């Protein structure tokens, strides 16, 4: 049968649930607090967790968020509470809990919930990468807030940003908990009635408008015309604006206008570099949970080096680098030397950064300064004292310059 972890600070409840579940043939693990739950989850990887909300060290909601953020929410979790509220249950479900049991727990309700949880098909595989628990940086936090506001509208939404941004991660934030999210393969070129049926009540996402041919554009018009009937919201992404779509990609003007009724710019990864350590750790954790690599963790210095890389390829480049590190590093802890090795292997030999000489002087100077300081920050791994020394700038001036260029400020203290 299944291995079930029961987490509750009341010994009587732990013993009662253990006895009931053992009688059903399950192996039961017991933890009296969040610390014990972390250790058992890491060592045993249970098939199901029954998690109390109110605990003395860390509450259950916080622990649930922690598992979701670190890619460890790979098993169904059922929350338990003697003081449950609708708001708490909704929040737990939004984070990733499968169900909510109110104490005292009725025997039949417990057994039915456990049975349903163990049959949950999503519990067998690690969750996909998500931005739900991230947002240290102002840029990402504000983007998520704007997306939250836009959930109140059903109008088509155009996401604008650089290539490699994984725009579907942002689009998924618009979907209500449990609502379908369907990404159109060839730009809505597949069986359209099936596509709309699958996305009914949720989000239909089209990943790159600039790559749609005329036939795919007509299919998209078909979808738009019927989206409201299916209560489906159409969300699209484009690396160029609506005018460029029409002028350089032969896009229908009226269709482009309808799709861009609402437009939101996605910040490139370099604008939310503060989130790179969390993103990299989450990407690595997902690989470990999927057993795609041996157990791995990133050292603090390695995370700092990743944070100060330029990431011109955005999230897709970061994912590729993390996968490279996971598969080719020799030690369980990935150090800064491994990061330098992988990043160096991706740099074109003797390649000079491009500077557009046809720009106005001020724009060209700013472009050069950005490239120059990105290079120094990466080379010195974010050490502000060494960047100041290399550039010949006083540190206060350097901080102001980096802030004006939108670049991450490195470490303020060095050993």
Average pLDDT per block of 10 residues along the chain, 415 residues long: 93 95 95 94 90 90 86 88 78 86 92 90 67 92 96 95 96 90 66 79 93 88 89 94 91 93 95 95 89 91 93 95 96 95 76 62 83 81 82 88 79 47
Distance (Å, whole) CA 63 – CA 49: 12
Distance (Å, whole) CA 62 – CA 169: 23
For the record, the structure tokens of 72 come out as: 């460890």
Give residue 240's region: left, alpha or beta (phi > 0; psi -120 to 50).
beta
**How many other C-beta atoms lie within 10 A of the C-beta of residue 229?**
9
What confidence score (pLDDT) does residue 187 get? 42
- DSSP structure class, residue 305: H
The H or E element spanning position 4 is strand 3-7
Residues 6+ apart with CB under 8 A from 128: 286
DSSP per-residue codes, 27-49:
EEEEESSHHHHHHHHHHH--SEE
Distance (Å, whole) CA 291 – CA 386: 39
**How many other C-beta atoms lie within 10 A of the C-beta of residue 415?**
4
For tokens 């996402």, name the residue.
205
* Cα–Cα separations (whole angstroms), residue 182 to 125, 303, 341: 19, 33, 38
CATH code given to domain 270-345? 1.10.8.60
For the record, the structure tokens of 370 come out as: 């950005």
Distance (Å, whole) CA 148 – CA 151: 5
CATH architecture for residues 352-415: Orthogonal Bundle (1.10)
- CATH superfamily of the domain spanning 138-267: P-loop containing nucleotide triphosphate hydrolases (3.40.50.300)
Query: CA angle, 115 as apex, 114 and 119 as ends, to 5°?
Result: 115
Q: Do domains 138-267 and 352-415 have the same CATH topology?
A: no
Q: Is 3-124 CATH 3.40.50.2300? A: yes
What confidence score (pLDDT) does residue 314 get? 96
Q: Where are the domains of the chain?
A: 3-124, 138-267, 270-345, 352-415
């Amino acid at each position: 049968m299944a291995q079930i972890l029961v987490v509750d600070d009341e010994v009587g409840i732990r013993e009662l649930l253990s006895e009931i579940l053992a009688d059903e043939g399950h192996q039961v693990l017991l933890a009296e607090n969040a610390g014990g739950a972390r250790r058992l989850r890491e060592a045993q990887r249970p098939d199901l967790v029954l998690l109390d909300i109110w605990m003395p060290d860390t509450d259950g909601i916080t622990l649930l968020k922690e598992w979701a953020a670190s890619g460890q929410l790979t098993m169904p979790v059922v929350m338990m509470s003697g003081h449950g509220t609708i708001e708490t249950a909704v929040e737990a479900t939004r984070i990733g809990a499968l169900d909510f049991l109110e104490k005292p727990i009725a025997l039949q309700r417990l057994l039915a919930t456990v049975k349903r949880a163990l049959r949950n098909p999503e519990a067998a595989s690690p969750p996909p990468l998500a931005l739900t628990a991230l947002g240290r940086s102002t840029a990402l936090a504000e983007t998520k807030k704007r997306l939250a506001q836009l959930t109140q509208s059903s109008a088509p939404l155009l996401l604008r940003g650089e290539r490699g941004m994984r725009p579907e991660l942002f689009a998924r934030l618009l979907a209500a908990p449990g609502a379908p999210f369907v990404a159109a393969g060839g730009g809505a070129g597949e069986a359209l009635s099936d596509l709309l049926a699958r996305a009914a009540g949720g989000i239909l996402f089209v990943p790159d408008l600039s790559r749609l041919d005329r036939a795919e554009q007509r299919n998209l018009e078909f979808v738009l015309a019927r989206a409201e009937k299916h209560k489906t919201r159409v969300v699209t992404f484009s690396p160029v604006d609506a005018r460029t779509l029409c002028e350089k990609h032969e896009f229908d003007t009226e269709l482009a206008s309808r799709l861009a009724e609402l437009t939101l710019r996605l910040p490139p990864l370099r604008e939310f570099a503060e989130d790179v350590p969390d993103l990299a750790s989450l990407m690595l954790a997902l690989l470990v949970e999927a057993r795609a690599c041996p157990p791995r963790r990133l050292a603090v210095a390695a995370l700092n080096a990743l944070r100060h890389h330029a990431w011109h390829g955005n999230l897709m480049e970061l994912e590729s680098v993390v996968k490279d590190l996971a598969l080719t590093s020799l030690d369980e802890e990935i150090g800064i030397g491994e990061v330098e090795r992988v990043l160096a292997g991706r740099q074109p030999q003797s390649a000079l950064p491009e500077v557009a000489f046809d720009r106005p002087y001020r724009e060209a100077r700013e472009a050069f300064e950005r490239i120059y300081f990105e290079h120094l920050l990466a080379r010195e791994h974010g050490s502000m004292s060494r960047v100041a020394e290399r550039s010949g700038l006083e540190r206060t001036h350097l901080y102001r310059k980096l802030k004006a260029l939108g670049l991450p400020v490195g470490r303020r203290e060095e050993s």
